[in-house]
Amino acid sequence: MESIGADLETMKRVPLADGHVAMIRDIAAERTYEAGETIAEVGDAMDEFIYVLDGEIEIVDPYSGVRMIESTLGPTQFMGEIGFLNAGAWTLPMRAAKDTRVLAAPREDMLALMRRVPELSDHIITVFAARRRRTFEENRSSIKLVGADKDAAVQRVESFLRRNRLPYQSYDLDASDEESVELCTLVEHMPAVIFNKDEVIADPTPGKVARRLGLDIDSCRETIYDVLIVGGGPGGVAAAVYAGAEGLCALLVEDTAIGGQAGTSSRIENYMGFPTGISGADLVYRGEIQALKFGTRFAMPRRVEALEKRDDGLFCATLDDGAQVCAKSVVVGTGVQYRRLPLDRLVEFEGAGIYYAATDMEARFCKGSDAVVVGGGNSAGQAAMFLCRHASHVHLVVRGDSLAKSMSDYLTQRLENDSGITIHYETEVSALRGDERLQGVTLSGPDGETRIDTNGLFIMIGAAPNTGWLEGHAKLDERGFVITGEGAGGRSQFETSTPGIFAIGDVRSGSVKRVASAVGEGSVVISAAWEHVLG
C-alpha cells in the first residue's frame, strides 16, 4: 500500500463520481469488518478492489502491530496500489480501524469496468501510481534487506526491487539502532532478505522475492496469448502498450527489470517531450503503467530459454524454471547486454565493486571514492555525468582516440568540460585488486600504467545480442543480431524468417540504437502481429 499522504488528500476532495460508484456496486459484494479485523495480510493477492462506504481502514506496521502512518482511508476512498493491475500481492497489512463497510469487486471484473470507463480508470490509476511512488520513496514495506552493502546476493535483490520500483527497507549489519539490532539477531548477523515480520528467505534471489510478491507466471501460464513479448526495454514496453490498446491478449516476460539497458540510464536528454531530461527508469515505468492499464500482463524475473513452434501454429516458450507459455505470435525485444572485460577476478568482484549499471544504488558505494567507467557510448557518458555527483572523481576509460563516432555531441562536450571527470583515451583496464571487495584498478595507456584506488568500476562496453534462445527460429547476422524484413524473407519490416516472430529495438540487425527508435518500432510492430493473429 502506498502513501495516504498529500496525493490522496487531494483525491479526497475529488471522490469517484456517483455514477462510477454505482457501476462498481453492480459488480461488487457488500462486506463488513469489525474494528481491529484484518482486511489484507502481507503476501495476500490483490484480487479485489475495495471501496470504503463507511468506517476507516489503516496501514499496519507488521512488526509492532500498530498503525504505521497517521492518515487512514475513509468513505469514498479505496484500497490498492499499482500492483493491483498486475495481480500483485500486498506488501503491508491493512486493518479496519473501526467498524467498516465496503464494496468488494473481483479484480478481473473491476479491470474490465476500468477499460470500459476511461474516466474511472484515470482516477484510480492516478491514485494507484501516486501511492506506489510515495511508498517507494519513503521505503515503506515489509521487505527488509539486511547487509546489502556486504553481500552480492542481497545486492541483486535490491537492484531488482529498486529497478522495478518495488518498495523495500535496507539495513546495515553494523547499525546500532533498535530495529536493526533486532533484525540482525533474527538472521544471526548474516546478510539476508526478510519478508513480513519473521520470514527469512533462504539463499535470496530476485525470483524468490518476485514470487512472494505475486510477480510470477503461475496465474497466467495457462492462457493462450495473442502475443508474447520477450524483453522489457523501451521497445518491448511500447509493444505492450499498443498490444493492450488494440485489444490483444499480451504477456511481457522480462528476465531482470522493466527498462532494460535504458533503465540503467540516469538521464536521457534527447528524448522528445522531456527538455530537461528523464531517467530511463522513469520513462519506461510510465509505459509499464500504460500497458497494465490496457490489460497487458508482466512476468518477471523470467528468462526465455527456448522456443518451439507447435503443429497447430502456436509458439511455446520454455522459461528458466521449466514453465511454458504459448502465444500466436512473438515479439523479440531482448536487446543487448554489456560485454565483460577479460580480467582476472572479474566474476569475483561483480556486485562487490564491479557494476553494469549506474543508478543511485550503485553510486552510494562510490561516495568519497573515485569511480571508473569503461566505455565510449552514450550509456557510459551518462553514467560518468551521473557518478560525478557522488564520487570524488570519475575516470572515463575509452579504448579509442575519440568519442566523436560513438557518443552524442552534447554529451561529449559536457564530459570534456567537467573538471570532475578525466577521460583516458587509448586506455584499457588491465588489472583489478582488492580483498573481498574491489579496492582499485590498473589502467594501461599511452603513458604506461596508472593505479587508481576505487570502490566502483562500471563496465559499459560493446554489446552482445540476447538471441541464443532463438536458434533455428530466426535468421541471424554474423554478430548474432536478428535479421528482419526483406533480408529474412519477412512479410513486414520487423518480421523474421519465421512468420509470426518479429524483432524490434537493439536486438534487430541494422537498428538505430536509440530509445526513441526502439519505442517507435515497438509501437509499429503490433500492427503486423495483429495481422498474423487474424491469419
Give the domain CATH number at 164: 3.40.30
Same domain, 282 and 204: no
Is 127 inside any structural domain?
A: no
CA distance 99 to 24: 21
pLDDT score recorded for residue 81:
94
pLDDT score recorded for residue 219:
54
> pLDDT digit of tens for each residue in the chain (535 aa)?
333 334 444 444 578 999 999 999 999 999 999 999 999 999 899 999 999 999 999 999 888 889 998 889 999 999 999 999 988 899 899 999 999 999 999 999 999 999 999 999 999 999 999 999 999 998 888 899 988 877 888 988 998 998 888 999 888 887 767 677 777 777 777 888 988 877 888 889 999 999 888 887 665 567 899 999 999 999 999 999 999 999 999 999 998 888 887 777 777 888 888 888 888 888 999 999 999 999 999 998 999 999 999 999 999 999 988 889 999 999 999 988 878 899 999 999 998 899 988 888 888 888 889 999 999 988 899 999 999 999 999 999 999 998 888 888 989 999 999 999 999 999 999 999 999 889 999 999 998 999 999 999 999 987 788 898 998 899 999 989 999 999 999 999 999 999 999 999 999 998 887 889 999 999 999 999 999 999 7
Is 135 inside any structural domain?
A: no
The residue to which cell 510470477 is assigned: 216
Give the domain CATH number at 274: 3.50.50.60
Same domain, 328 and 359: no
Q: Where are the alpha helices (DSSP H) in 264-310?
A: 280-293
Local structure of 424: helix, strand or coil: strand
Same domain, 236 and 305: yes
Tally of domains in the chain: 4
Same domain, 389 and 300: no
Is 138 inside any structural domain?
A: no
Same domain, 325 and 253: yes
Is 217 inside any structural domain?
A: no
Is 132 inside any structural domain?
A: no
Domain of 54, in residue numbers: 6-115
Is 123 inside any structural domain?
A: no
Nearby residues of 236 by Cβ (< 8 Å), 6 or more positions away = 229, 230, 252, 254, 260, 331, 333, 504, 505, 522
Is 494 inside any structural domain?
A: yes
pLDDT score recorded for residue 74:
95
Q: Where are the alpha helices (DSSP H) in 216-279?
A: 234-245
Is 169 inside any structural domain?
A: yes
CA distance 303 to 312: 24
Same domain, 362 and 412: yes
Contact yes or no for 192/214 (Cβ under 8 A): no
Same domain, 247 and 159: no
Same domain, 512 and 485: yes
Pairing mode, if any, of strands 192-195 and 199-201? antiparallel
317 forms bridges with which residues in the sheet? 307, 325
pLDDT score recorded for residue 339:
84
Cα atoms in the 13 Å half-sphere on the side-chain side of 421: 26
Could you say which of 71, 99, 115 is where a domain stops? Answer: 115
